């Protein structure tokens, strides 16, 4: 496999003016006929006519009607071409039924579907498969299937064939085709200029009843993008298709989004509140790509965060507007710290805009997506809401129809706001999470508080030197009585060390630093538990209020892990005050009660120079959970009763918050009552959130008895619910049992190696069960390696992504390091290992 470098970018020598494709569908022998009108690209100097193509059987090729015999390689073909414009035509044969990699054209449960991002189109036909080559596509699909879909608007259709035309030039990665026995639930949307758009969600017969929420989320997204970004939809139809076998969440193909069924299908009986929230966010994300990704795409894959960071930022804004903004922010930061900080701290660390890659599929990472979104949040904070809107308007006006770069993106901010962004650009080019150390100096005579800030970023692979970055640090000051004396102010840090003073203060205030998590940094600040408890009680910034509680809990857990120190009464009291404060949003209370995860604790210990012992962290977490459960039992009983939501299930933020707090109370209660309340909730559950909450509590407290079987009997016909059943058993298994439970589940008749959701439900859960995965026996590592080796033969993309289970090996003791790297070496040494997994394991190994 070859390394590709950003610095080597050159434009393609030809421009495809028009692309016509004809598909004659057959499970094992689909014929793809292409006719492409090319002209020389005046911007390019290289006139070599190379078309990508992989795994294709070339039947015939011609130029201007005359047959040609191109030079074929494993990666494509080369051909002599005329100097002026010419028409390329080719016929190839492919085998969708044998495509288990789920890239290109493949079959899932009897239906045909495609996944072309990033480089899947080359598995469909010969083409310059790169995002800066854009063209207008017309697609004819033929086959004995009731539904035949492609991008754009329908031109004509009759039994057995259909023609689609997409008037918007697009790169090949946005191409899509779907065919099969599908049914649609439909709605419509009238755009701000009065055009009517037909909206369809296509599903397998039987799933029609699970489409309404997706349609509503789509309508809300379309409206929001008009209101907030002035972006109108641009085709007559917007189709969404649910497929069972899919490597990621969903794909934004122009006018024909393809979704993992788990990211679109919802019903109260089968989906949890978290599922609903995820579906709403993914529908919005893919819809928002229509402008940020499709109308303006990326020049090359190094610019991936241009579309992904911005679209994640937009979907996070949308969720904040649709639900609770503070709760959404806290959830996003938990996810960022859990995935992106972990990535940035290990061997896979890379800049949001990498300089090189071997397999681009390995760069669909938390750094590109979530850190990419954080960077845009910082930009918005620095230029203000108006500056941001002006810059975005300019971006859409200037770059509509372009394949753009990060430089283009930053330039619109510079031009629209007059701000110089050369230093800010380091956020895109430099890897690693900055540490921000904050110390305080109080001058009582002058009434002045000075904050001394110092930033350092540890070296990351290939980047030793880390010059200082621009860091927006939001700060507010509170009086000792809890009143805010200085409202949120953004301090712009640009130097390695910098001090900022606040004058005119009557008494020493309490500083609330990095409000709203204004920058993706690790804050290092000495503060005592009294100050944290004060901020937990009084901070006007909801994020920092939650953060204060989180830091308190982390310190308590560290005390337990390191010194076997019992939690202080103050901590329990502070927690009880928040949990019992009926003036606070129940969703916020549920979040405040969630203890830091075991992986977060391992990282915290490692940051403090202590080798983490996952078993000890698990024991401490159990011990603390038991203490909290016992000491606050009356509160759990009250909350479990009071937070019950009666009446029909509505998947809104309010109901979800109440159910989340109720399930939190139930989890604690189950530690006191032997599972009695959970068993009752399981029996009476009127929706999946209640049923799964009860099952989790029973599994966590080892009292699930018959409920696991009852759940299976009730839901064995439903794939998405079965994924929960598989996952929960592994997630909640005790450390010494986790690998055994996972292994037993791989022998279950419903375990299916070809279905990424099912594989992730078992092995994603195993990786997430920290003490189980890192059990000193090494069984977790061994089992994971065995199954990644098997999966790689079928689905390299999912295998490579899941190798990140091993990314933290450097944190651990010598035995675990040895076992983890042995597992990686074993995978890496497999004959015929895919380039995807070869690259990942090589990057992970020393
Ligand atoms: N842009 C899409 C990315 C994606 C993808 C990438 C590689 C392989 C399979 C994939 N499926 C979807 C999805 C998104 O970010 O919205
Ligand atoms: Zn995306």
Tokens of 357: 């890659």
Cβ 520 vs Cβ 374: under 8 Å: yes
What is the Cα–Cα distance from 481 to 263, expressed in whole angstroms? 46
Instruction: Tell me, using a 6 A CB cutoff, whether residue 248 lines ligand 1.
Output: yes
Residue 286 Cα: closest atom of ligand 1:
16
Backbone angles phi, psi at 733, to 5 degrees: -70, 145
Sign of CA dihedral 367, 369, 375, 378: negative
pLDDT in tens, 537-555: 999 999 999 999 999 999 9
Instruction: Tell me, using a 6 A CB cutoff, whether residue 247 lines ligand 1.
Output: yes
Q: Which CATH class is domain 440-519?
A: mainly beta
- Ligand 1 centroid distance, CA of 251 (Å): 5
Contact residues for 384 (Cβ-Cβ < 8 A; gap 6+): none
- Ligand 1 centroid distance, CA of 248 (Å): 6
pLDDT in tens, 464-509: 999 999 999 999 999 999 999 999 999 999 999 999 999 999 999 9
Closest CA to 759 of 347, 245, 308: 245
Cβ 323 vs Cβ 650: under 8 Å: no
Position 759 scores a pLDDT of 98
pLDDT in tens, 30-87: 999 999 999 999 999 999 999 999 999 999 999 999 999 999 999 999 999 999 999 9
Q: Where are the domains of the chain?
A: 1-181, 298-429, 440-519, 527-629, 632-695, 716-846
**718 pLDDT higher than 80:** yes
DSSP string, 215-235: HHHHHHHHHHHHHHH-----S
Position 1 scores a pLDDT of 74
**109 pLDDT higher than 90:** yes
Instruction: Tell me, using a 6 A CB cutoff, whether residue 286 lines ligand 1.
Output: yes
Instruction: Tell me, using a 6 A CB cutoff, whether residue 290 lines ligand 1.
Output: no
Residue 248 Cα: closest atom of ligand 1:
11
Looking at ligand 1, which residue's alpha carbon is closest to its atom 2?
251
DSSP string, 691-742: HHHHHHHHHHTT--TTHHHHHHHHHTT-HHHHHHHHHHHHHTS-TTTHHHHH
Q: Which of 173, 248, 369 is the pocket-test mutation for ligand 1 (most atoms within 8 Å of CB)?
A: 248
HSE, side-chain direction, 13 A CA sphere, residue 624: 31
- Ligand 1 centroid distance, CA of 364 (Å): 7
Q: Which ligand is nearest to the CA of 283?
A: 1
Cβ 451 vs Cβ 438: under 8 Å: yes
- Ligand 1 centroid distance, CA of 475 (Å): 37
Tell me the CA end-to-end span of the chain in Å, nearest whole number: 20
Cβ 56 vs Cβ 76: under 8 Å: no
Distances (CA, A) of 241 to 178, 250, 417, 426, 833: 8, 10, 41, 39, 32
**705 pLDDT higher than 90:** no
The CATH number corresponding to 1-181 among 1.10.3470.10, 3.40.50.2300, 2.60.40.1730, 3.40.50.720 equals: 2.60.40.1730
pLDDT in tens, 200-249: 999 999 999 999 999 999 999 999 999 999 999 999 999 999 999 999 99
- Ligand 2 centroid distance, CA of 302 (Å): 14
What is the Cα–Cα distance from 804 to 799, expressed in whole angstroms? 9
pLDDT in tens, 112-142: 999 999 999 999 999 999 999 999 999 999 9
Q: Which of 105, 117, 174, 372 is the pocket-test mutation for ligand 1 (most atoms within 8 Å of CB)?
A: 117
Closest CA to 696 of 667, 719, 723: 667
Cβ 563 vs Cβ 557: under 8 Å: no
HSE, side-chain direction, 13 A CA sphere, residue 408: 21
Is residue 286 annotated as a catalytic residue, yes or no?
A: yes
Instruction: Tell me, using a 6 A CB cutoff, whether residue 118 lines ligand 1.
Output: yes
Q: Which ligand is nearest to the CA of 263?
A: 1
What is the Cα–Cα distance from 288 to 250, expressed in whole angstroms? 13
What is the Cα–Cα distance from 135 to 19, expressed in whole angstroms? 7
pLDDT in tens, 377-417: 999 999 999 999 999 999 999 999 999 999 999 999 999 99
Instruction: Tell me, using a 6 A CB cutoff, whether residue 836 lines ligand 1.
Output: no
Cβ 541 vs Cβ 517: under 8 Å: no
Strand partners, 749: none
99-137: string of b/e by CB count within 10 Å (b at 16+)?
A: bbbbbbbbbbeebbbbbbbbbbbbbbbbbbbbbbbbbbb
Percent of the chain with pLDDT over 70: 100
Q: Is the confidence metric ipTM above 0.95 for this complex?
A: yes
Looking at ligand 1, which residue's alpha carbon is closest to its atom 3?
251
Strand partners, 243: 260
DSSP string, 121-158: GGGTS-B--STT-EEEEEEEEESS-SEEEESSEEEEEE
Cβ 186 vs Cβ 288: under 8 Å: no
Q: Which CATH class is domain 298-429?
A: mainly alpha
The CATH H-level superfamily of 716-846 is: Peptidase M1, alanyl aminopeptidase, C-terminal domain (1.25.50.10)
- Ligand 2 centroid distance, CA of 387 (Å): 24
Residue of 54, 103, 119, 286 with catalytic role = 286
Domains 1-181 and 298-429 share a fold: no
Instruction: Tell me, using a 6 A CB cutoff, whether residue 373 lines ligand 1.
Output: no
Q: Is 251 helix (H, G, I), strand (E, B) or coil?
A: strand
When the pLDDT of each residue in the chain is averaged and rounded to a whole number, the result is 98
Write out the H or E segment, with its range, that includes residue 661. helix 653-673
Instruction: Tell me, using a 6 A CB cutoff, whether residue 539 lines ligand 1.
Output: no
Q: Is 510 helix (H, G, I), strand (E, B) or coil?
A: strand
Instruction: Tell me, using a 6 A CB cutoff, whether residue 723 lines ligand 1.
Output: no
Cis geometry, peptide bond prior to residue 118 (ω within 30 degrees of 0):
yes
What is the Cα–Cα distance from 578 to 542, expressed in whole angstroms? 12
DSSP string, 579-617: HT-TTS-HHHHHHHHSPPPHHHHHHHHHHTT----HHHH
Instruction: Tell me, using a 6 A CB cutoff, whether residue 251 lines ligand 1.
Output: yes
Looking at ligand 1, which residue's alpha carbon is closest to its atom 4?
251
Cβ 636 vs Cβ 672: under 8 Å: yes
From the centroid of its chain, how far is CA 746?
A: 26
- Ligand 2 centroid distance, CA of 431 (Å): 21
| 659-662, long-range: CB < 8 A, 24+ apart | 659/273, 659/689, 659/690, 659/693, 660/273, 660/586, 660/587, 660/590, 661/586, 661/587, 661/589, 661/590, 661/593, 662/690, 662/693
Q: Which ligand is nearest to the CA of 756?
A: 1
pLDDT in tens, 621-672: 999 999 999 999 999 999 999 999 999 999 999 999 999 999 999 999 999 9
| Mean local confidence (pLDDT), 561-568 | 95
Other CB atoms within 10 Å distance of the CB of residue 57: 11
Cα torsion at 174, 180, 186, 188 (round to 10°)? 30
């Amino acid at each position: 496999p070859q390394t590709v470098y950003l610095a080597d970018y050159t434009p393609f020598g030809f421009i495809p003016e028009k692309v016509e494709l004809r598909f004659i569908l057959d499970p094992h022998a689909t014929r793809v006929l292409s006719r492409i009108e090319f002209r020389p690209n005046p911007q390019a100097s290289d006139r070599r006519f190379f078309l990508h193509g992989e795994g294709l059987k070339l039947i015939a090729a011609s130029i201007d009607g005359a047959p040609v015999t191109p030079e074929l390689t494993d990666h494509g073909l080369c051909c002599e071409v005329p100097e002026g414009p010419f028409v390329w035509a080719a016929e190839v044969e492919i085998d969708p039924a044998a495509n288990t990699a789920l890239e290109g054209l493949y079959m899932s449960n009897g239906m045909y579907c495609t996944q072309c991002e990033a480089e899947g189109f080359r598995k469909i036909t010969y083409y310059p498969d790169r995002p800066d080559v854009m063209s207008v596509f017309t697609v004819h699909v033929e086959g004995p299937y009731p539904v035949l879909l492609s991008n754009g608007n329908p031109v004509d259709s009759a039994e057995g064939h259909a023609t689609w035309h997409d008037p918007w030039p697009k790169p090949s990665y946005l191409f899509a085709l779907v065919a099969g026995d599908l049914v649609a639930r439909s709605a419509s949307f009238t755009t701000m200029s009065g055009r009517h758009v037909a909206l369809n969600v296509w599903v397998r017969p039987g799933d029609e009843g699970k489409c309404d929420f997706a349609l509503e989320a789509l309508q809300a997204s379309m409206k929001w993008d008009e209101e907030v970004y002035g972006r109108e939809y641009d085709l007559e139809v917007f189709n969404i298709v649910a497929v069972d076998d899919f490597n990621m969440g969903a794909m934004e193909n122009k006018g024909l989004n393809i979704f993992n069924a788990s990211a679109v299908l919802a019903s109260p009986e089968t989906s949890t509140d978290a599922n609903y929230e995820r579906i709403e966010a993914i529908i919005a994300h893919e819809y928002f790509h229509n402008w940020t990704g499709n109308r303006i795409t990326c020049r090359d894959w190094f610019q991936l965060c241009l579309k992904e960071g911005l679209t994640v930022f937009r979907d996070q804004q949308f969720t904040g507007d649709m639900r609770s903004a503070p709760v959404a922010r806290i959830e996003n930061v938990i996810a960022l710290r859990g995935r992106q900080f972990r990535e940035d701290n290990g061997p896979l660390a890379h800049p949001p805009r990498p300089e090189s890659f071997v397999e681009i599929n390995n760069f669909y990472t938390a750094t590109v997506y979530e850190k990419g979104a954080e960077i845009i949040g910082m930009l918005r904070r620095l230029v203000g809401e108006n500056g941001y809107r002006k810059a975005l308007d300019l971006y859409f006006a200037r770059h509509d129809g372009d394949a753009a770069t990060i430089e283009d993106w930053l330039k619109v901010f510079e031009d629209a706001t007059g701000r110089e962004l050369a230093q800010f650009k380091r956020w895109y080019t430099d890897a690693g999470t900055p540490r921000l150390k904050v110390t305080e100096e109080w001058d009582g005579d002058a009434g002045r508080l000075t904050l001394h800030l110092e930033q350092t970023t540890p070296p990351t692979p290939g980047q030793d030197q880390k010059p200082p970055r621009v860091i927006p640090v939001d700060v507010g000051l509170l009086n000792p009585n809890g009143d805010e004396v200085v409202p949120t102010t953004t301090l712009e840090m640009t130097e390695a060390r910098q001090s900022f003073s606040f004058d005119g203060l009557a008494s020493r205030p309490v500083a609330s630093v990095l409000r709203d998590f204004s920058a993706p940094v690790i804050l290092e600040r000495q503060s005592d538990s009294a100050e944290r408890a004060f901020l937990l009680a009084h901070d006007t910034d909801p994020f920092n209020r939650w953060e204060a509680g989180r830091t308190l809990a982390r310190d308590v857990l560290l005390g337990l892990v390191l010194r076997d120190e019992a939690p202080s009464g103050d901590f329990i009291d502070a927690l009880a005050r928040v949990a019992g404060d009926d003036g606070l949003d129940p969703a916020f209370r549920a979040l405040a009660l969630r203890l830091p995860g075991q992986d977060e604790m391992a990282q915290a210990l490692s940051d403090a120079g202590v080798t983490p012992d996952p078993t000890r962290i698990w024991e401490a977490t159990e011990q603390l959970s038991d203490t909290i459960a016992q000491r606050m039992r009356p509160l759990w009983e009250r909350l479990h009763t009071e937070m019950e939501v009666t009446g029909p299930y509505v998947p809104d933020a309010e109901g979800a918050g109440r159910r989340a707090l109720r399930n939190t109370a139930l989890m604690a209660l189950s530690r006191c009552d032997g599972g009695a309340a959970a068993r009752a909730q399981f029996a009476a559950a009127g929706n999946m959130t209640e049923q799964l909450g009860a099952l989790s509590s029973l599994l966590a407290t080892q009292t699930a008895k018959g409920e696991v079987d009852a759940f299976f009997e009730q839901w064995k016909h439903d794939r998405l619910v079965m994924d929960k059943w598989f996952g929960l058993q592994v997630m909640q298994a005790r450390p010494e049992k986790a690998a055994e439970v996972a292994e037993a589940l791989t022998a279950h008749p419903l375990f299916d190696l070809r279905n990424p959701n099912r594989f992730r439900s078992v092995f994603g859960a195993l990786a997430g069960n920290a003490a189980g995965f890192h059990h000193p026996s090494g069984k977790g590592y061994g089992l994971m390696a065995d199954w990644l080796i098997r999966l790689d033969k079928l689905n390299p993309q999912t295998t490579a992504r899941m190798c990140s289970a091993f990314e933290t090996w450097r944190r651990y003791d010598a035995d675990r390091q040895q076992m983890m790297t042995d597992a990686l070496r074993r995978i890496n040494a497999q004959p015929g290992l895919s380039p995807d997994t070869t690259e990942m394991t090589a990057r992970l190994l020393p």
